[in-house]
């Protein structure tokens, strides 16, 4: 079996070599990892779960453009959307193995690799996007990116998924009790699972790529994601209610395989990192501009839209507090406190 596999690999390599005619467009994995200044073209396969109309993909195209221009074509970027290369978790694993170079998951699935990342999924941690930017782009955010190295991952920048709202096919979520018995898809993250259980829902973790069909077939009643995703992925076709719970601000993390990153020249490392920050700014801008407009579109598509009151949110957080205490214990209370302190500091600075 092994032999057949190596023969297959060999045949593939011959094909690839033949296809690039000895040129400098060698997109093989070998060239991706040999690195150095050899003048070879290094190819990056960058995959995301969302579709090609989402601000995340548009920003990824921007990243590709900057990287290809600044490296004079020494790095080539191939982009894949709609979970073509797998879901967030599988793609992150592929990065660890060095069989894929870039992915941009939400922080929630990253908690399966670095448990401390769960802190970003504490409900109502970030009061608004500006505070999130300050904390994530500051010292604390960098500390979290550094924690990825042990997992064979390099975090280049934070991008934005955004504040998450609930949709479902049963009823408007106005108060915490409306979660009762709702079959809700969650991301693959234990804190999400436990928090929605505490609220009385019946949560199921599921890969994003399976979600639309699951809602269509009624395997789940609902899900939670930011408004741009709800609109651009066409969830309004299979969901009747959207409620602005805003329960979590989901950051994206721009991840690169450490093996690949280490094989880049220093100059290339700087280029890919700075480009991730620059394209991330575009991702945030496009995302934020889109929210109000897409909320209107969802109403126009016939969805029942309700704003959740601050009182109802406060009640929800009270119910999930024991879950949060449990996770603070698991993650380490100091780490959690450090993040909350950074949030308070950022809030104070922005209020000046």
Q: How far is the CB of 255 from ligand TK8 (least distance, A)?
A: 12
Q: Select 75 or 211, whichever has its Cβ closest to ligand TK8.
A: 211
If one asks whether residue 316 binds ligand TK8 (CB under 6 A), the answer comes out as: no
What is d(CA 240, CA 316) in angstroms, rounded to the nearest whole number? 22
Q: Select 38 or 84, whichever has its Cβ closest to ligand TK8.
A: 84
Q: Which part of the chain contacts ligand TK8 (CB under 6 A), choosing from 45-53, 127-135, 139-147, 175-183?
A: 45-53
Pairing of strands 222-225, 249-257: unpaired
If one asks whether residue 221 binds ligand TK8 (CB under 6 A), the answer comes out as: no
> In the chain, what is the greatest distance between 2 CA atoms, to the nearest angstrom?
67
Q: How far is the CB of 106 from ligand TK8 (least distance, A)?
A: 4
What is d(CA 105, CA 205) in angstroms, rounded to the nearest whole number? 15
Structure tokens at 323: 């879950």
Q: Could you give the string, one character per residue 77-116, with x where binding to ligand TK8 holds by CB under 6 A and - elsewhere?
A: -----------x----------------xx----------
What is d(CA 175, CA 49) in angstroms, rounded to the nearest whole number? 31
Q: How far is the CB of 80 from ligand TK8 (least distance, A)?
A: 11
Measure Cα distances from 85 to 5, 29, 53, 331 in Å.
21, 16, 17, 30
Q: Select 50 or 75, whichever has its Cβ closest to ligand TK8.
A: 50
Number of residues that bind ligand TK8 (CB under 6 A): 12
Q: Could you give the string, one character per residue 134-163, with x where binding to ligand TK8 holds by CB under 6 A and - elsewhere?
A: ---------------------------x--
Q: Select 74 or 193, whichever has its Cβ closest to ligand TK8.
A: 193
In the chain the beta strands, taken as DSSP E runs, fall at 42-47, 75-80, 102-103, 153-163, 165-168, 183-186, 202-205, 222-225, 241-243, 249-257, 304-306
The only residue of 32, 44, 46, 50 in contact with ligand TK8, by rule CB under 6 A:
50
If one asks whether residue 229 binds ligand TK8 (CB under 6 A), the answer comes out as: yes
- Strands of the 241-243 sheet, one edge to the other: 202-205, 183-186, 222-225, 165-168, 241-243, 304-306
Structure tokens at 124: 């109502």
Q: How far is the CB of 159 from ligand TK8 (least distance, A)?
A: 10
Q: Select 29 or 101, whichever has its Cβ closest to ligand TK8.
A: 101
Closest CA to 147 of 272, 45, 267, 253: 253
Residue numbers 186-215 binding ligand TK8 by CB under 6 A: 187, 208
Q: Which residue is nearest to ligand TK8 (CB)?
A: 49
Note whether 287 and 228 are within 8 A (CB): yes
End-to-end C-alpha distance for the chain, whole angstroms:
67
Q: How far is the CB of 113 from ligand TK8 (least distance, A)?
A: 14
Binding site for ligand TK8 (CB under 6 A): 48-50, 88, 105-106, 161, 187, 208, 225, 229, 250
């Amino acid at each position: 079996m092994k032999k057949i596999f190596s023969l297959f690999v060999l045949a593939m390599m011959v094909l690839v070599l033949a296809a690039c005619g000895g040129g400098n467009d060698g997109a093989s994995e070998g060239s991706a990892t040999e690195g150095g200044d050899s003048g070879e073209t290094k190819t990056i396969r960058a995959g995301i779960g969302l579709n090609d109309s989402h601000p995340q993909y548009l920003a990824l195209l921007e990243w590709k453009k900057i990287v290809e221009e600044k490296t004079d074509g020494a790095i080539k970027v191939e982009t894949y959307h709609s979970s073509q290369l797998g879901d967030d978790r599988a793609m992150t694993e592929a990065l660890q193995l060095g069989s894929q170079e870039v992915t941009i998951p939400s922080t929630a699935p990253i908690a399966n690799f670095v448990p401390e990342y769960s802190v970003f999924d504490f409900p109502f941690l970030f009061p608004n996007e500006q505070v999130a930017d300050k904390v994530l782009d500051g010292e604390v955010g960098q500390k979290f990116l550094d924690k990825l190295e042990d997992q064979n991952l390099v975090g280049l920048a934070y991008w934005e998924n955004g504040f998450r709202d609930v949709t479902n096919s049963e009823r408007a979520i106005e108060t915490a009790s409306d979660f009762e018995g709702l079959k809700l898809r969650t991301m693959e993250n234990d804190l999400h699972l436990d928090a929605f259980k505490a609220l009385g829902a019946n949560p199921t973790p599921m890969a994003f790529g399976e979600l639309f069909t699951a809602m269509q077939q009624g395997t789940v009643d609902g899900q939670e994601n930011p408004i741009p995703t709800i609109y651009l992925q066409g969830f309004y076709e299979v969901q009747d209610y959207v409620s602005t719970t805003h329960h979590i601000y989901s950051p994206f993390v721009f991840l690169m395989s450490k093996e690949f990153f280490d094989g880049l020249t220093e100059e290339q490392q700087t280029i890919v990192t700075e480009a991730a920050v620059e394209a991330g700014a575009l991702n945030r801008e496009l995302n934020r501009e889109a929210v109000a407009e897409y909320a209107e579109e969802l109403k126009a598509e016939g969805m029942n839209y309700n704003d959740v009151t601050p009182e109802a949110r406060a009640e929800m957080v009270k119910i999930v507090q024991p879950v949060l205490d449990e996770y603070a214990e698991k993650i380490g209370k100091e780490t959690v406190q450090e993040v909350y302190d950074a949030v308070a500091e950022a809030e104070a600075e922005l209020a000046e």
